[in-house]
Amino acid sequence: MMMPEITPEAQAELDKALYDALNPLASAIRSRETGLPADRIWDADPVEVALSVLAAWKVVDAEVKRLTAHAAATAGSYGASYEQLGAVWGITRQGARKKWPDAVSRPAPPTSTLELFGGTAALVQASSGGWSWTGKGADGVSRAADEGTCHPSAEEAAAHAGAFLKEHALDAVGRP
């Protein structure tokens, strides 16, 4: 997606609309800070007046950031990727992920279930791409892959989980 261009005319209209929206906020901040009546709030030291305008822009800036995050989250909820969000904002995919960390929902890691020897094991793909497992044998013993163990493929994780399930199987009369 290309960055939207704004014409000089549209920029002038935007500036006017922003100043028109800012003036009541700046006036309210100035009145609150000085205690002066509405018709005299701008009768002050020019530095103080300029600082009240700056304070109003800070409020507007915070609101724009909040609304921007909401727009990014809305786009993400409809399936936009961080790459697309970054392209629109003129930043990288990584920059968009940092700016709006919760905007794009990540699908749950892929899992599959293995049922062998009367027990079950769940194979789970880690965010790193490797695979791990947790299982419960037919004899009721539960175990997970060793801490920090990440198998390079689902098949290898399944082999380790299957070996565990075999060790904890019941024989034909229900004994381990």
- Residues 34-71 pLDDT 10s: 787 767 777 778 888 888 889 889 999 999 999 999 99
Q: Are 8 and 42 in contact (CB under 8 A)?
A: no
Burial of 88 (0-12, 13-18, 19+ CB in 10 A): middle
In this predicted structure, what is the pLDDT of residue 22?
87
Q: Tokens at residue 135, please? A: 């299982």
Q: Which residue has the tokens 């904890």?
A: 168
In this predicted structure, what is the pLDDT of residue 9?
94
CA–CA distance, 149 with 39 (Å, rounded to integer): 72
Numbers of helices and strands, H then E, in the chain: 5, 4
List the one residue out of 91, 132, 137, 99 whose CA is nearest residue 118.
Answer: 137
CA–CA distance, 111 with 113 (Å, rounded to integer): 7
pLDDT higher than 80, residue 148: no
pLDDT digits (tens, 9 = 90+) for 94-132: 999 999 999 998 765 667 888 998 999 988 887 677 888
Q: Tokens at residue 11, please? A: 């920029």
Q: Are 60 and 22 in contact (CB under 8 A)?
A: yes
